[in-house]
Amino acid sequence: MISVNLAVAAAAAANDTWAASDGATRAKLLEGLAAVLEGAREALVPLADRETSLGPVRLNGELDRTAFQLRAFAKAVDAAFAFVDDPAVPGAPPAGHPHLRRVRVPLGPVAMFAASNFPFAFSVLGGDTASALAAGCPVVVKAHPGHPALSRATAELASGVVASLGLPAGVFGLVEGGIDEGVALVKHPDIAAVAFTGSVKGGLALNAVAQARPRPIPFFGELGSINPIVALPSALAAKGAELAATLAGSITLGCGQFCTSPGVVIVFDGAQPFVDTLAKALSEAKPHAMLTPGMRANFDAGVARVAGTAGVTTRLASPAGDGSNAAPRPFLAETDAATFVANAALHDEVFGPACLVVRARSTDEAVQVLRATGGSLTVTLWGAEDGSADARRLVRAAQQVAGRVLFAGVPTGVAVCAAQQHGGPFPSSTAPATTSVGLAALDRFLRPVALQDAPAWLLS
């Protein structure tokens, strides 16, 4: 764990300087990071493609988004310095009180666990790194072993920017390794918070380590999500074929390796033409290879779990692979609401191009299905425009289980803006009051402090 200790020591040494840096300095670093990413596009994208199989179109788009995100935080950096001021009120309490100013202070060095499925946007210089740096926290990235060469190349560029701006090297660091290194990083006493994107299993294990420290620290884990879509009859009547085609594209996008990939579609009576069109579109889709052989094996196991559940009918089979990461065939199955609600095995995300159609006989049943999913990054409601009593019930239920509720389109594709929320109730996030995408992501790395009767020098 020498490299973990060295990286965290460098981050701790840089902490006071970076925490005290002004907005202009932070913006300059973030803009510099965006610029080097774009400048190295011709080298980075082929490297990323070799390691992830995600293809140049997607990877170029993702690099654009990552640079956009870094610049968005550069523009939003002043939010870290916002404060609430309560002038002194003379007189006895409770009405009378001293001067109080509520500021926010950076938490300290952040351990960032890169995701496999977004080698740019949720990896070395992704949203977690950008938002932590904007908040004034040094970052130690744990590289994802799925794209080690890309991680090293990106980190080298980042360190170059840090050095060129005369900042302490420990503002940004990279460590590599497996579970042991990850655990050592989370346990390190100088780490103040953890940002994680990955599986429920890995996230819960690391969160347990974070909470078992002598001093527990915040763990911002974005874990699994099943992303239900509710297709109301009015929407399918109006444009069922178009929605089926869009949905098939969303299910197979990136070979289904999106945290917002739609895994469940709730339909009502009369939806069979829509389901048939969806099945046809999926049968014709040509997904690319998966990220790793392990991902493919997990996908096959998830498909077998769903297909093997009594009461589930397979519409499109997805035969198990050969041990490689070769592209799977999309999987589609159908069941009824009662079977879905009763079988916990159907509530877990199948990471990859898989979707389960759930037939509901009533709004009541649809609400029960939504509740059974637990927590999800997104719920999509097609056909809620009329504001009927049923639509209102479904919207309330959707808001109770999701961090984002969509009324059109598909959940894949997450805008980076102030109003975004990426993180819903457990298991989709371990910290559903926070977001890992969008400008509010920097709030995670700041802690409020009230300054009482502070001297003038501190308030200026």
- The reply on whether position 304 binds a copy of itself by CB under 8 A is no
Site stretch for a copy of itself (CB under 8 A), options 132-140, 156-164, 307-315, 403-411: 403-411
Residue 64 or 181 with smaller CB distance to a copy of itself: 64
* 39 membership: H or E segment, kind and range: helix 23-39
CB closer to a copy of itself out of 1 and 407: 407
- Position 455 contacts a copy of itself (CB under 8 A): yes
Q: Based on the shown chain and the rule CB under 8 A, indicate whether residue 94 belongs to the binding site for a copy of itself.
A: yes
- The smaller minimum CB distance to a copy of itself, of residues 133 and 210, is found at 210
Closest CB 75 distance from a copy of itself, rounded Å: 12
Residue placing its CB nearer to a copy of itself in the complex, 112 or 217? 217
- Smallest Cα–Cα separation from 331: which of 299, 309, 359, 358? 299
Q: CB under 8 Å to 445, separation ≥6 — which residues?
A: 106, 107, 110, 131, 132, 135, 136, 137, 193
Residue type at 458? L
> Which amino acid is located at 426 in the chain?
F
Shortest spacing between CB 426 and a copy of itself, in angstroms: 5
- What is the distance between the alpha carbons of residues 375 and 410, in angstroms, rounded to a whole number? 18
Interface positions, 328-387, toward a copy of itself (CB under 8 A): 374-375, 384-385, 387
Half-sphere exposure of 445 toward its Cβ, with a 13 Å CA cutoff?
31
* 101 touches a copy of itself (CB under 8 A): yes
Per DSSP, the three-state class of 404 is strand
The yes or no reply on residue 136 touching a copy of itself (CB under 8 A) is no
Type of residue found at 111:
A
C-beta of 153 vs 454, nearer to a copy of itself: 454
- In whole angstroms, what is the distance from residue 383 CA to residue 397 CA? 15
Q: How far is the CB of 189 from a copy of itself (least distance, A)?
A: 10
Q: Segment contacting a copy of itself (CB under 8 A): 48-56, 83-91, 241-249, 358-366?
A: 83-91
Among 51-59, 109-117, 161-169, 430-438, the segment contacting a copy of itself (CB under 8 A): 430-438
Listed ranges 1-9, 154-162, 258-266, 427-435: which one lies at the site for a copy of itself (CB under 8 A): 427-435
Q: Tell me which residue has tokens 């351990």.
A: 111
**Using the rule CB under 8 A, is 64 a contact of a copy of itself?**
yes
Residue 301 found at the interface with a copy of itself (CB under 8 A)? no
CB 329 to a copy of itself: min, Å: 28
Please give the backbone phi and psi of residue 199, each rounded to the nearest 5 degrees, phi first.
-80, 160
Minimum Å gap between C-beta 208 and a copy of itself is 9
Q: Is the peptide bond before 427 cis (omega within 30 degrees of 0)?
A: yes
CB of 456 to a copy of itself, least distance (A): 8
Chain centroid offset of residue 415 CA: 12
Among 78, 86, 269, 284, binds a copy of itself (CB under 8 A): 86
Size of the site for a copy of itself (CB under 8 A): 75
- For tokens 């997104």, the residue is 378
- Options 82, 163, 301, 433; binder of a copy of itself; rule CB under 8 A: 433
The residue from 133, 420, 436, 442 that contacts a copy of itself (CB under 8 A) is 420
User: Which residue numbers are catalytic?
Assistant: 222, 259
CB 451 within 8 A of CB 143: no
Which CB contacts under 8 angstroms, 24+ apart, belong to 269-276? 269/233, 269/361, 270/233, 270/236, 270/237, 271/231, 271/233, 271/236, 271/240, 271/357, 271/359, 273/236, 273/240, 273/241, 274/231, 274/236, 274/240, 274/241, 274/243, 274/244, 275/244, 275/315, 275/334, 275/357
